């Protein structure tokens, strides 16, 4: 009987970084179904990478860099 995949989700936010996003996708896709991988693209100007097929992709407004930038990103993720 095949082992059942865990019922868990992984979330990341990315901007202009396909190199590390691909590593992230490959790493977590080995543990869970791709539908359980959530990628928040920081900005509507971002291009959807082909290797994210099957993942949940969400485009969010870009958060301008400056004071409180990181806190706003964490807030957006609901953490």
Q: What are the pLDDT digits (tens) for 57-73?
A: 999 888 777 777 677 76
Domain membership of residue 78 (yes or no) is no
Query: Using CA atoms in the order 19, 23, 42, 17, what is the torsion angle rounded to 10 degrees?
Result: -10
Per-residue pLDDT tens listing for the chain (79 residues): 456 766 899 999 898 999 999 999 999 999 999 999 999 998 899 999 999 999 999 998 887 777 776 777 667 666 5
Q: Is the residue at 62 inside a domain? A: yes
| CA-based nearest residue to 59, from 71, 70, 68, 49 | 49
Beta bridge partners of 56: 38
Domain-embedded: residue 31: yes
Residue 9: name the closest of 58, 62, 51, 43 by CA: 58
13, 73 contact by CB (below 8 A):
yes
Contact between residue 15 and residue 46 where contact means Cβ atoms under 8 Å apart: yes
Structure confidence at residue 1 (pLDDT): 46
> What is the residue range of 34's domain?
10-70
* Within a domain: 4: no
């Amino acid at each position: 009987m095949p082992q059942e995949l865990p019922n868990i989700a992984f979330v990341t936010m990315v901007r202009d970084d396909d190199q590390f996003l691909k590593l992230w996708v490959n790493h977590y896709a080995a543990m869970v179904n791709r539908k359980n991988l959530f990628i928040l693209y920081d900005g509507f100007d971002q291009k959807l990478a082909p290797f994210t097929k099957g993942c949940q992709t969400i485009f969010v407004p870009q958060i301008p860099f400056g004071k409180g930038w990181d806190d706003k990103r964490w807030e957006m993720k609901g953490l």
